[in-house]
Amino acid sequence: MRILIRNGRLICPLQQLDDVGDVCIADGRIVAVGAPADGFSADLEITLEGEFICPGIVDLSVHTREPGFEHKASIASESAAALRAGVTGMVCPPNTRPVTDNPAVVELVRQRQARLKQTRIYPLGALTRGLEGRQLTAVAALRQAGCVGLSNADRPIVDTEVLRRAFEYAASFELPVFIHPEDSYLRNQGVMHEGKISTRLGLPGIPETAETSAISRALLLIEQTGVRAHFCRLSCARSVELVGAAKQQGLPISADVGICHLYLTETDVDGFNAQCHLWPPLRTDRDRLALLDGLRRGVIDAICSDHQPHDEDAKAAPFSSTEAGASTLEALAPLAFNLVATRAFTPTQIIGALTCHPAAVIGIDSGSLTPGALADLFIFNDRQQWTLSAAALTSAGKNTPFDGWEMCGRVMHTFIDGKPAFTYE
Amino acid sequence: MSAHSIQLDRHGRLKHFLTTEGLSRDILTSILDYAESFAGVSGRAVKKVPLLRGKTVANLFFESSTRTRTTFELAAKRLSADVLNINIATSATSKGESLRDTLHTLEAMHCDLFVVRHGNSGAAHFIAGQVADNVHIINAGDGRHAHPTQAMLDVFTIRRHKPDFESLRVAIVGDIAHSRVARSKIHALSTLGVSDIRVIAPKTLLPVAIESLGVRVFHDLHEGLREVDVITMLRLQRERISNAVLPSEEEYFQCFGLTEARLSVASPDVMVMHPGPINRGIEIDSQVADGARSVILQQVSHGIAVRMAVMAMVTGAASDAGSGAD
């Protein structure tokens, strides 16, 4: 299929490109950027009025809930939500049921995804068997099956010796490890940030040292083992400092932040708002500003949705008994773009954090608008106003903290493999 | 929906009683005044008033309790309501039924008022958000969050002895971190004008941001008790020792246990309170608990009057609930 998209605002952070022009796509690849290739004849022509043309979003954390939790969501339902969100590649954590700790589960996911011909899935393999933090997984086989990294998901490894060995083994096969930094002893029974609001609400708190001490421990082991590591979902100011200092020393690390943590804080939990029950927890406004600053300075490489769709019952209980996580895919692009207008980011900074930087974390050839690159891209109209409604989400998870928020900007088209995969109507 | 606006109806009247936080001085005062009008009822030969005749009150206790449940039951009966006691700890939820399903089942039985105790902070708020508009919720203790009727009966007891709140010095001693009574009492006292509220405990028993509630922190009992007019002792749970929060009961009593000798620095007419049940010899010496300054038993009997007042107010049975006593 041959497609010509005319008169868009082309953003390619990899080349620092921000210019008005056209894109030509043929047979799944980008063939020309800027001016159309000589004699290019298109099957499909789209003429824009200056809307953004960007590489497709690579989202570093999307829980599709499949296999094992299909009462919450499925690969089919969440792929459809991803297309609507401009997400062309999603990294899926291994906390499925069964756990993604062997090639058979990876194969199952790939087969289900292949049938859909939609958003690409990049699975993470479990760092330890059953995520139990005791035995190593067959890393070579997981890599062979297509895992782009290893992670212990929401089950931090307690035994430091196991962590060291897991890092060493992963390093031997050149797979990055994804770390959710948390000391489970310091977290204890905590369900929200330990601070003013937890004190008032009488909810058990998670101190920031639960995160920072785990980061410090991991950094020393990364230095010792030489593993390439990615820190998932930083939540506090001190974490940004620690990661920033380690990057300056030249450690092979990267980091991301969830979109909720750039907009919400502990005060949004007030009134026992279970939609803001997240993990890691929402922290203070000072932390939120430090995360934005870390993003600006490149200490934080990527913004992800940290999409966690839930069934209704998961959030319908007293706060401590609710499940953590928010359904965020469809809010990701408008909220991220909004930082250009409200926080003085450049479009290339924001698109970079959504595309080429996360692509580099998982080592895939994606996230750029260069001739020859994969034609995964999306078109975004940053002027369209709309109101987010939980009930109207495409995702099976209606658990959004942004219900009723005024959004500015909408994904108009998503292309995967050079074919139109979604068009807003 | 904010934590405290949910308990008022659109006219600003009390609809649920979930927390003392965020309620106006007027509402808190009218609870106290209204309770005062019921305080005599228990002493009469016929101990009943017909305010809640025809209404059904369900006591939903997800955590076991004797004194709180009994005083709520007595309060409801003295208002002529029909009372249903449901001990959920041994009932439906242990068969796997969800809290929402339990509630809707009970609602289908047309209960007008639920008195709820639950181990999770925020449970009463959650339930208030689930029930139909004409159903009222009174929080009888949720996790570490709030125990508003206990706080109000404490304040009621204080007012009977020391009505000038502005000049009062109040100390709360013990396990503040896990105490819903402490939180509710701090909010109620500060709204009513008490400016000198102190909490006395080792750091392991204090929530991190306790100063943000407007209290002063002491780690030394002797310092903290200087010239105080009211002392509230909190119960110490044994699990604080097994969970590495405290080294031993002996050391705790030595440093934070209330004895006659320790009372010497307090105001001469200091009142000693305890929400019960008491651990004698762990947080308080028997001599003090049974002594002349103790108002612990008065607290229990005032509990009935305060709970009658709150029940009448939230159900709208009080003639002018929310703006004053009748």
Pick the CATH number of B148-300 from 3.40.50.1370, 2.40.50.140, 1.10.357.10, 3.40.50.800: 3.40.50.1370
Residue A170, token pair as written in the block: 């992963």
pLDDT in tens, A58-100: 999 999 999 999 999 999 999 999 999 999 999 999 999 999 9
Dihedral of the alpha carbons of A391, A393, A397, A401, in degrees to the nearest 10: -80
DSSP H helices in A127-282 = 139-145, 160-172, 184-187, 196-201, 209-225, 237-248
Residues A182 and A218: beta-carbon distance below 8 Å: no
pLDDT in tens, B72-87: 999 999 999 999 998 7
Choose the weakest-confidence range: A225-239, B51-65, B199-213: B51-65
**Number of Cα atoms under 13 Å in the Cβ half of residue A99:** 18
Cα–Cα distance list, A73 to A95, A96, A130, B167 (Å): 14, 12, 21, 59
Residue A361, token pair as written in the block: 């974390």
Residue B40 confidence (pLDDT): 79
| The Cα angle at residue A409 between residues A89 and A45, in degrees rounded to 5 | 70
Q: For chain B, give me the number of helices (H) and strands (E)?
A: 11, 9
- Reference B224, options B243, B196, B184, B252; nearest CA is B196
Give the start-to-end residue ranges of the domains of chain B: 5-146+302-314, 148-300
Question: In this complex, do A199 and B213 lie within 8 Å of one another by their Cβ atoms?
Answer: yes
pLDDT in tens, A11-47: 999 999 999 999 999 999 999 999 888 889 999 999 9
Is the per-residue pLDDT at B107 higher than 90?
no
Helix (H) or strand (E) holding A407, with range, is strand A406-416
Question: In this complex, do B146 and A313 lie within 8 Å of one another by their Cβ atoms?
Answer: no
Closest residue in A to B143 (Cα) is A202
Domain B5-146+302-314 matches domain B148-300 at the CATH topology level: yes
Place of tokens 């960007």: A54
Separation between Cα atoms, residue B102 and residue A349, nearest integer Å: 51
Residues A50 and A43: beta-carbon distance below 8 Å: no
pLDDT in tens, A316-374: 999 999 999 999 999 999 999 999 999 889 999 999 999 999 999 999 988 899 999 99
- Reference B192, options B156, B225, B221, B218; nearest CA is B156
pLDDT in tens, A139-192: 999 999 999 999 999 999 999 999 999 999 999 999 999 999 999 999 999 999
Residue B91 confidence (pLDDT): 58
Is residue A199 less than 8 Å (CB to CB) from chain B?
A: yes
Q: Residue A379 pairs with which residues in a beta bridge?
A: A53, A413
**Number of Cα atoms under 13 Å in the Cβ half of residue B151:** 29
Separation between Cα atoms, residue A193 and residue A235, nearest integer Å: 10
- Based on the residue annotation, tell me whether A376 is a catalytic residue of this protein: no
Residues A277 and A405: beta-carbon distance below 8 Å: no
Is the per-residue pLDDT at A224 higher than 90?
yes
Q: Which of A22, A59, A101, A306 is catalytic?
A: A306
Question: In this complex, do B3 and A270 lie within 8 Å of one another by their Cβ atoms?
Answer: yes
Separation between Cα atoms, residue B313 and residue A90, nearest integer Å: 54
Task: Answer whether 0.90 is exceeded by the pTM.
Answer: yes
Q: Residue B231 pairs with which residues in a beta bridge?
A: B171, B272
Residue A253, token pair as written in the block: 């690390």
- Reference A228, options A149, A155, A122; nearest CA is A149
Residue B325 confidence (pLDDT): 36
CATH class of B5-146+302-314: alpha beta
Question: In this complex, do B126 and A318 lie within 8 Å of one another by their Cβ atoms?
Answer: yes
Instruction: Indicate whether this complex's ipTM tops 0.90.
Output: yes
Burial class (CB in 10 A: 0-12, 13-18, 19+), B223: exposed
- Best B21, B121, B205 residue to mutate vs chain A (most A CBs within 10 Å): B121
Q: Residue A23 pairs with which residues in a beta bridge?
A: A5, A33
Catalogue all structural domains in chain A, each as residue range(s) with its CATH number. Answer: 2-53+373-423 (2.30.40.10), 59-361 (3.20.20.140)
Separation between Cα atoms, residue A166 and residue A298, nearest integer Å: 27
Is residue A42 less than 8 Å (CB to CB) from chain B?
A: no
Residues B230 and B162: beta-carbon distance below 8 Å: yes
Closest residue in B to A320 (Cα) is B120
Is the per-residue pLDDT at B225 higher than 90?
yes
The beta strands (E) that lie in chain B are given as: 56-61, 82-87, 113-118, 136-142, 169-173, 196-200, 216-218, 230-233, 271-273
| The Cα angle at residue B292 between residues B288 and B296, in degrees rounded to 5 | 65
Local confidence band at B4 (pLDDT 50, 70, 90 cut-offs): low
Chain A: closest CA distance from residue B301 (Å)? 28
How many CB atoms neighbour CB B269 within 10 A?
Answer: 10
Question: In this complex, do B209 and A207 lie within 8 Å of one another by their Cβ atoms?
Answer: no
Average pLDDT, chain A: 96
Is the per-residue pLDDT at B3 higher than 70?
no
Distance of CA A298 to the CA centre of its chain: 16
Burial class (CB in 10 A: 0-12, 13-18, 19+), A378: buried
Residue B326 confidence (pLDDT): 36
Higher pLDDT, residue B44 or B6: B6
Give contacts of A201 with chain B, Cβ < 8 Å. Answer: 3, 121-122, 145
Q: What is the DSSP letter of A177?
A: E
